[in-house]
Structure 1
Amino acid sequence: MASYQGLLDRSLQKLQQAYYPIQLLSLNSNGEVPHQVSVGLANPKTALLESEKVLSIGDSPYILKVAFNESDSLQAASKIRDNIAYILVIGTGLLALGLFASLRYLVITPISELIGHIKQITTQGLSYRIPGQNSREYSAIADAVNELSARLEKTTTSMSLLDEAIAHKEQIMAKQQLTNQRLSSILDTAADGIVTIDVKGRILSINPATQLIFGYKEHELVGSPIEILMDDAQAIKHQSYIDRYLNTGDSRVIEYRDSKGFAGRELTARKKDGELFPISLSVARIETDNGIIFSGFIKDITTVKSAETALISAKNQAEEAAKLKSEFLAVMSHEIRTPMNGVIGMLELLMDNELNKTQSHQAYLAHNSAVALLHLINDILDFSKIEADKLELEQHHFDLRRLLGDFCESMSANSNNDNLEIILNTIEVNESLVVGDSTRVRQIFANLVGNATKFTEKGNIVVEVKLEEANDDQWRILASVSDTGIGIPADQVNTLFDKFSQVDASTTRKYGGTGLGLAIVKRLCVLMGGDIRVQSKVGQGSKFTFEILVGKSHQSAQVLPQADISKLNILVVDDNAVNREVLTKQLEHWGASVTEADSYTQALDRCQDILSCSQNIFDIAFLDMQMPENDGLDLCKAIKSNSEYQSIHLVMMTSMDAVADQNMYKELGFSGYFTKPATTSDLFNALNVIADESFNNTDPITTFRALSAMSVKEKSHSLMA
């Protein structure tokens, strides 16, 4: 039993350590010999709660009794009860909170969202749609609200469209009413008659002007057939015209326009009193709710026709008068020119006789006056031919370079102004022959250069001519005549090419002339497929530029010297920069090497420079006769006096007739000379002869050889040995 005593004692200690309120443990045997083992202390004053249980230990039954402190046991149970109650309260609160959260998530939040979306409908309009959710109930409510919004939107839109349509129709009606008022005012005040008819030709309406034109009252015409306003020929066919138009669209009046785009046709109408008169009628087709109608616009052209008849009569009379005038001028010009040519011829014979100084001067003045009168007669005749469209242009082969060279030479020779130099630039005319009217081409240049000579006291007159291809059959002549004369005021330029036009009265008094020259030039340029224009500044000069067309000649050849001048080294001496530039460019164009000098001193410097560079001296030197300080004669003497320069062939360029001084030129050492302006034939002749290896200064030179491609007039001169 001692072992049971220790076991109970240890068990009691462990139970008490575990805070069980056990006061006493006892173990009793139920055998034949009872045994009792007890541990713990029992306080007689302490109420105990006892519990027992039968245990089998080995083969013997035992009774285990456990005595609990009643107060401590009830206190623990109370604590357990309190804890359970506390747990129940907290659990109930947590459950309520969970239920609230679930309820809020599942019910309150969706309802709040629905309320928010419904508010969006009030702010954004009925087109706003509530988005769906996972909740079936929420989606059902959202769909119902969306369907209601859609219906309301459709109803509202329909009402808005109806309101807009009503407002738009009211605007249209107001505009239509205003248009009708305006149209009514126009119809009532229109000077032309306006008539509307139906497809059967019955008159539907007329305006007041129609009543005035035809002499009918409105009630007399409305409802009547339109044929009562027509002549018999038109009245018979009118309805058939309408039927044909409706069936085929073919019309001679309805919506008709002529080749120029003008509407209407001229017809004959009938007034109430039966009088026939001319009208201009244009008809328009109009689609209406009641079908097709036609609106006719009628203009009484009686006055216009009378004026046309008078104008045609006046035109015929004017043409007849112009024809008579042209014939008279042609006859009279011929009759006048015949004796005038005789007068000029006799005066020239008279001047060849031995006359004293007074007689010679008088004969000279008479000759100049006769020539001026003849030129005037020619201008008048030419202009009358042009105005009468009687001027016919000839077509023949001619040498443009030769024509210009001869012309400029004659103009220069006839000029009595030593301070004026005519310069010809034909570098870009590379064809020997063209086809056209050489007389009229020369006439254009004669008028322009003649005017430039007349209005330029000193300086240059530059004639530049180019030839460029216009098409397969034609050349285009581009030409200009520039001067350094008095110029033309800007306000006079536009009328410069009118007949009898002069800059002002003082110009006519000082310089003379009829004012026909430029008018003739303008018309000749137009006749030749071109035109003319002018640029000018008062006090600085004028530049006339024109272009004309000429034909290509199958007989033409390239304008080139016979001799190969590509190895020639040439010196050009001239104080005139423009003349020097033109001559240099032409020589370089043909292949020569050219050096320029503008004075006596610079020319000698150029000779010295070329020797200093160990180069051969110049082959040819073209010397200007008239230069400031030292002239061409002085330069010739200086060159020939230097043994290093003596091989240079010298050619004199002079603006004076030097035939009388040719022996002096030869003695000084010149190989030849020509008068300015330098022409193609001058340069060709000089270069061809001097470039010939057989040429030397001792050979007698009687003439320069002509070109194979051109028949050149010999204007350049060689000096006899």
Structure 2
Amino acid sequence: MNLAESLAGFGHWRSDRSTGTYSWSPQIYQMIGLSTELTPTRELMLAMIHPDDVDKIVVAVNDATRDGTLAPVRIRWNRPDGKTVHILVAGQMDGPTAMIGIMRDITEEVETERSLIAARDQARAAERAKAELLSVMSHEIRTPMNGLLNSVEALRRNPDEAQRRPLLDTLNQAASSVMSVVDDMLDYSRVESGRVVIESVNFDLKAAIRTMGHLFDSMAEAKGLTLDVHGLDGEPVIVCGDSARLQQLLSNLVSNAIKFTEAGSVSIGLSPTRSDDDADYWMVIIRDSGRGIGQETLGRIFARGDQVDAARMRLQGGTGLGLAISQQLAEAMGGSIAVSSDPGKGTTFSVELPFKRADGPAALAEEVPTGPMRILLAEDNPINRRLMAGLLTREGHQVIAVEDGRKALGAIAIEPFDLVLMDMQMPELDGISATRSIRALDPPACDTPILAISADSQPERRRIYFEAGIDSFLAKPIVSGQLLDMIATMRRTKRAPADTGGDKFNRERLNLLVEQGGYDDAAILMKMLLFDVSDRPQRIAASVRAQAWELAAAEAEALRTLLDSFGSFSLSRLLAAIARQCARRECQPAVLEELFEQSRALALVLNGEFGAVPSPIAQAMDNVVEPDFLRGSR
């Protein structure tokens, strides 16, 4: 019995009301923390049962005396060692005055149950918070969307120039408000889920703070406020950190300071605080002369969606997430954020952040080449393609626009570009695969800067983009000013003119072939070229589909070598990329489609060129039949 009770985790007891005696099995003594030498009594039990549960067990025992069964009842038992355990007691009558039953320790079950209840309540609270947040988001999006749609409808009526300008301003403001809400939601989702990626690059901290002042000058001026920036005198401070996250964090704080200041000034200050072996700590202080925040609300302003003045926040636009995002960004960067305020006297936010000392020279401003650029735009959305092409063309750039990655690869294999704008989600060949294929081309095409554009800006996706070979990234929707600024920062010194554009048949090599081998040999080589341009792409594709990578690479190199004997051709450059991809045991189907497309185009070019060769060669070519050069070339 003792072994069975030990394994089952319970003990048994017996009581006799007529004699006032009680007996417990060894498991019960162990369960409630008493020595087996102690004789159980009614007084002892009542003293150890939790006071709030005494009446419960007394009523249950009285009912059992009348009904014959002690229904299971939970009680709390205070052990001598100070621990409270939860006990389940059940039993039945054993004659007119005696009762037998069991006791089981259910402490672990109760704690598990409590944790499940807490988790359930937390999940319900999260659902309520999500519903409330979605309600706020719905309001914040619908309000500017109403202005946006009304402005579009008014513009469709083709108003005169005087009416058009305010409508366009309203349209721009409404679109910016919608994007602000969407950005807040995405940013908060990333930082809350721990997906924030903090980069480490060298930058000038003072220049970054100075830029913040320039960004908000016009916003402050529009409200008649003075925006001061101080602590930036002296030499540049080159640090290693994430300048983009710093700008995002401070933008939220400075924007709020200007929004909630009706008169007076806003200031941004920078000062060093302390240093350790790994980093230097810097304090950024944003101070405003607004109406301030009451002490009772200061402790909750960093909570999600908590708006200190909801009506005022809604009036001026905002989701209430900006401060929560700022706090989480500061913590993700290893720093902290604090706030102090007095109603009527303004508010001060203090952000302390650590920055590692620069591990090399910073990429500071340098002389940027100017003038128009040749830009390849790969974007499958026709509206976005037209708008971006129009914007870049108005800026003086020459733009070649294509609708998928395969055509982008074909275009850059044919002619040189200064920059590629690459959408990452496209049919035929997506931006990632197209970027990898471009990087596999011969120089200078493989060195062309690539600016990725995508609505999917999750950190893990961005890592994949950069691993594929992009140089920079811009999230959709594209803001014209951001796009032009990004292009300006990506300018590279113009390459020396390279003979890489188009297909060029080299007649001097043909003349050399005639001199060395006569008309018949030259004709056979030319006929072989026409045949291989049509035949070898089929064999390359078949080898790729069979994953015979070495054979595919060999076929690509053979055709490339033959092409190089007759001139400079874009197909030759594409074949080099295919050979390198096959060496890595990969080749996208869309790349093969581009191979077929360029081989057909080259066949037309060659037929045109061969139609103008000297008559002796043309006559010799007419006399060549396919088996003649197949026997000599295989």
Q: What TM-score range do you get, normalising by the shorter chain?
A: 0.3 to 0.5
Q: Which has the higher helix share?
A: 2
Query: Which entry has the higher C-alpha Rg, 1 or 2?
Result: 1
Query: Structure 1-normalised TM-score?
Result: 0.34
Query: What TM-score results when the alignment is normalised by the length of structure 2?
Result: 0.39
The structure showing larger relative contact order (alpha-carbon pairs under 8 Å, at least 6 residues apart) is 2
